[in-house]
Amino acid sequence: METSYLIGAIFVASIMTYLTRVTPFLFFRKKEPSQLIKFIEWNMPVMIMVILVFYALRDVQWEVYPYGLSEIIGVFIAATVHVKFKNALLGIFLATLTYMILVQMVFIV
């Protein structure tokens, strides 16, 4: 493919992506959001985190050593840190660090 074609395709894709992000704000900037939108806005982070936890735990072999202990400990640490400090990034970082240490050094299969 030609370089000019690739640059043009990237440019058009960038403009269209930008327009799809900006358009709702242009049309609905003076309108008060409905109760459903407010509910979704308030609960979306929790819904996403629940989906990610279930997605991460889907392939855990609960009946084989170490019986998912590293995953359970990681989820527990993430939840505890998030509830105590109200900092999702810190919880995710500490839980991932703990999980990796457990998998690489403690529960060696």
* Total domains present in the chain: 2
Angle (CA) 86-42-82 rounded to 5° is 15
Which tokens sit at 56?
């991460």
* Rounded distance between C-alpha atoms, residue 30 and residue 24, angstroms: 11
Same domain, 45 and 25: no
Q: What is the pLDDT of residues 2-55, one digit of tens each?
A: 999 999 999 999 999 999 999 988 888 888 888 998 999 899 988 988 898 899
- The answer, yes or no, to whether residue 56 has pLDDT greater than 80, is yes
Same domain, 14 and 44: no
Q: What is the pLDDT of residues 67-87, one digit of tens each?
A: 999 999 999 999 999 899 988
Helix, strand, coil tally for the chain in percent (to 5): 75, 0, 25
Q: CB within 8 A of 65, min separation 6: which ones?
A: 107, 109
Query: Whole-model pTM above 0.75?
Result: no
Mean pLDDT of all residues in the chain?
Answer: 91
- Domain containing 69 equals 34-106
